[in-house]
Structure 1
């Protein structure tokens, strides 16, 4: 008998719509799974009272269907506001903050019928692809509780992998939808910049690095949530209208050309087994009649890194300088946040201009590549999930990491220029740890990437290898 929580989110939504499953039944099963598993992995935080969640589910059963997420329980990443729930950002500065209203993305999910029951854990201010913070502690990988879940959407990815959530929201500046997707054997889409609009206060024009987006156990679920999150909004000058993605997932990928960038010609150090695992998975594309071609390094990685470090630090300084300038608050900031702020504050206007020129040069080269290839591929991480006690890896293959985030350098060719990218599962290490690959394409190709990912999902066996829930429930 199939456990109801093993069903994909779009299937559950259809069962609720057709009155074959009640939202209350789904909520009871969800709360029971959280009760059994969450104490082992620490993925869901700020959980609402069970009776209040069940009351909302009964109300959903009594009303007309509100939309594609009707009756589905969700937990919101703790970098976004959900009215009445804490938004800690994983920081002691906000440990007691209760959100007075929903962020735009959360409001759209609720309007589509989702029932918000809590939050998912994240690193402090989302900095670093390892989910731990002094407010809620560390989130553990369900495939090995001694390992990192990735981040910053680590709580969301673990909630999906363990069946505690059918879908999840996340956000991504430096791999935060892709790295935890890879390390938890699920899908995470970093959308085209602007597709999922934001109404966050602050600058709306300069800092085009971070995005919000969907996660799911299959691309069809990712597309369903993306269509709820996406769309024009007057508060975001970069937002735009795009045809819904979910109806575009049908069709084969026969004849598509996909470029494999591997370790970028040896520029990215890789832990043993990562590259072999990803390259071993590429044959699935051949089985789908798509052609994979190995490509040489297309652009100097040191230039991409230089632009990324400066522009990311500049964005962090712009958003967090007020905390730094208050001595009492500065004492509560983690070391990595202070480093980002100080690095960003040291930049001149002409420094920023020079870095943005590098970004523009890389974008021009990338667009030329997309003139030849339907999509490109890179590993989603350079290392396997590492011990949960670590802050970050200090070396990879004998090469020292000179910053707290250098170990995730492989994600920034995508992040720097705002193109869409979906993590697709790629297999497991000898120790049973998951890995994934970044499938990325030109701006506004989100639906095409999800179509490729859906064919991949159907053709591969990775989805069948799930965490041992019995072990997590002990």
Structure 2
């Protein structure tokens, strides 16, 4: 069975009787057995007999929804009943939830068979998937390299054909960086479209969001519709019009703004800007007007606002573990200590900067239908390295400064499609970020579908 087929094709084949859920499950488990040992993307896999029995029961039952019979491994930051949720931390090594988080419940209700987990960095911190529970997830294009993160396991599972859809989450590029480094698509939806788990504070922290990953914008749309929609327990969750089926946009005359390296504010390794600019030629060939855009806002002000609000949010999540601080990795301790030391006015002032950047971005979107940035500043690095410490001689002053290019989008909660841009001289993938104003999710996916029709990069997969 060709497991690089689209999720849309697979669920259609099951619905029509051309394929059974049991056949797909057996092929999926065979694929995982063949390739996962080399990349370590799928973890906490349920036993084959139970999964096969669940698939057979699905075949005998009425059609349950748009994901009926589709195997999905869920990111290991999400609780799934009966499957360990470690968050990559020894603290939670033996934690087995009794109920599903909202996103897992929505996928299950849509007919997905939840088979296990995809690997993450500890607590999802840092765009490099390694942890002391399961180890590192390797890049399928070069197993000596990082897969990115925090949705690194999800991206690798897609790239190697172990799953057809994957969920991810994105605070600081956690859907976008691994998508770029593994030659797949990742979509950060407009903030509030996909509600988080309704626990703790649901008013203040507006940075991280859940979202879909896939090998095409059409498949992104399939999963996005399943996980989208309001949750009455959360004040910022919002109603959303379905995006599927995602059809290619009429791109003639669309205006695309190219932000590049923000006039040097984001140092880039050699070859990244060139490969992204080559991807922009695809948009020109489709009739778009592609123009360079001068830096619209001071990059350092955006960064300072970001690291304040991020540390505040991360510390709020880690605060219950303060007595176990020594068991946390260094980046988690750094975020925890910064957040706990902040004053309310520091947080307020950071949000004032965020508001100013939002107003400036809104004015830009009166001129442009979409803006484009590279999806990463470095190529996939040595899998044994915790994080890059410099780029082209420029020292990185934090564990995450090397991913600064994703922050202009994250800070504002804008929708953004990470799309493959091709391969560099060493054969490693790279990608671009295509983003627009809040609420432009459907338009971005349609633009991405037109681009995908011209490129089809994810179908050029690793030879594994």
- Scaled by the length of structure 2, what TM-score is found? 0.99
Task: State the partner residue of 1:472.
Answer: none
Find the aligned partners of 2:433 and 2:4 in 1 and give their Cα distance.
25
Gaps spanning 5+ residues in structure 1: where? 470-474
Find the aligned partners of 2:423 and 2:9 in 1 and give their Cα distance.
27
Find the aligned partners of 1:365 and 1:251 in 2 and give their Cα distance.
26
1:384 paired with 2:382, answer: no
1:118 paired with 2:116, answer: yes
Instruction: Quickly say closer, same or farther: Cα 1:251–1:438, change in 2 above 3 A.
Output: closer
Q: Determine if contact 2:218/2:246 at 8 Å carries over to the other structure.
A: no
SS at match of 1:422: strand
Find the aligned partners of 1:461 and 1:215 in 2 and give their Cα distance.
15
Find the aligned partners of 2:233 and 2:385 in 1 and give their Cα distance.
39
Q: Determine if contact 1:199/1:235 at 8 Å carries over to the other structure.
A: no
Q: 2:398 aligns with which of 397, 403, 409?
A: 403
Q: Deviations over 1:136-169 (max 9, x none)?
A: 1000000000000000000000000000001000
Task: State the partner residue of 1:97.
Answer: 95
SS at match of 1:170: strand
Task: State the partner residue of 2:410.
Answer: 415
Q: Determine if contact 1:15/1:21 at 8 Å carries over to the other structure.
A: yes
1:359 paired with 2:357, answer: no
Task: State the partner residue of 1:40.
Answer: 38
Q: Determine if contact 1:146/1:387 at 8 Å carries over to the other structure.
A: yes
1:437 paired with 2:419, answer: no
1:460 paired with 2:439, answer: no
Task: State the partner residue of 1:27.
Answer: 25
Q: Determine if contact 1:249/1:448 at 8 Å carries over to the other structure.
A: no
Find the aligned partners of 1:231 and 1:40 in 2 and give their Cα distance.
37
Q: Determine if contact 1:76/1:169 at 8 Å carries over to the other structure.
A: yes
Q: How does 1:248-327 map to 2 (within 5 A)?
A: 248-324=246-322, 326=323
Larger displacement relative to structure 2 (150-159 or 454-463): 454-463
Q: Determine if contact 1:161/1:184 at 8 Å carries over to the other structure.
A: yes
SS at match of 1:6: coil
Q: Determine if contact 1:198/1:235 at 8 Å carries over to the other structure.
A: no
State the Cα distance separating 1:461 from its structure 2 match: 4.4
Q: 1:349 aligns with which of 320, 344, 347?
A: 344
Q: Determine if contact 2:11/2:68 at 8 Å carries over to the other structure.
A: yes
Task: State the partner residue of 2:148.
Answer: 150
Gaps spanning 5+ residues in structure 2: where? none
Instruction: Quickly say closer, same or farther: Cα 1:47–1:248, change in 2 above 3 A.
Output: closer
Task: State the partner residue of 1:428.
Answer: 423
SS at match of 2:213: strand
Q: How many residues align?
A: 464
SS at match of 2:327: coil
Q: Determine if contact 2:145/2:382 at 8 Å carries over to the other structure.
A: yes
Q: Determine if contact 1:121/1:136 at 8 Å carries over to the other structure.
A: yes
